[in-house]
A = this chain, B = another copy of it.
Amino acid sequence: MIAVLVLNGPNLNLLGTRQPEVYGATTLAMIENACRSHGAGLGFEVTCAQSNSEGAMIDLIHAARGAQAGIVLNAGAYTHTSVALMDAIASVEVPTIEVHLSNIHAREAFRHQSYIAPVALGQIIGFGAHGYILALDALKAHLGGGT
Which A residues contact B (CB, under 8 angstroms)?
Answer: 9-11, 13-14, 18-19, 38, 51-56, 58-59, 62, 76-78, 80-84, 86-88, 90-92, 103, 105-106, 110-114, 117-127, 130-131, 133-134, 137-138, 141-142, 147
Interface of A is mostly: helix
- Closest chain B residue, CB of each to CB of A103: B122
- 19 residue pairs of the A-B complex, CB under 8 angstroms, read A10-B54, A10-B55, A10-B87, A11-B84, A14-B91, A18-B90, A51-B55, A55-B55, A77-B84, A80-B83, A81-B81, A81-B82, A103-B123, A105-B118, A105-B123, A112-B113, A120-B126, A130-B138, A130-B147
Kindly identify which residue among B82, B103, B124 contacts A120, using a CB–CB cutoff of 8 Å.
Answer: B103
Q: Report chain B residues within 8 Å CB of A138.
A: 124, 127, 130-131, 134
Tell me, rounded to whole Å, the shortest Cβ–Cβ distance linking A33 to chain B: 15
